[in-house]
Amino acid sequence: MRTIDCALAGASAFTPVCRVEQAGLVLVVHHPDGGFRRLHKVADGRGVISADGVEEALVAWANDGRLMVTVGPDRYLFPAKVKPDNAPKP
């Protein structure tokens, strides 16, 4: 598992307390209180989508180049790379 910065339950500041495990195309983000979110990696330019629940994952690029994913009141910063526009399509 790797650690990522997150801001949980509407917190304004990000802290490196969330742990991420990957199983195939599914990412499970573990919160320090035992809660978790499941995200599904997609290759259509969005990065990830919610793998369960009714709350949609909103994805945007943070100013520092990381991928910011917001689900409900929780925000996560993932290390990611932008694919060039001329990258082969899946």
Instruction: Specify which residues 19 forms β-bridges with.
Output: 3, 30
Over residues 53-78, the pLDDT tens digits come to: 789 999 999 999 999 999 999 999 99
Q: Provide the phi-psi class of 73: left if phi over 0, else alpha when psi is between -120 and 50, else beta.
A: alpha
Q: What is the pTM of this model?
A: 0.87
Report the percent of the chain where pLDDT is more than 90: 78
Supply 3's token pair.
Answer: 């650690």
Amino acid occupying residue 49: I
Residue 26 amino acid letter: V
Nearest to 50 by CA among 36, 61, 64: 36
More confident residue, 30 or 89: 30
Looking at residue 87, what is its pLDDT?
Answer: 47
* Domain residue spans of the chain: 2-78
What pLDDT does residue 90 have?
A: 45
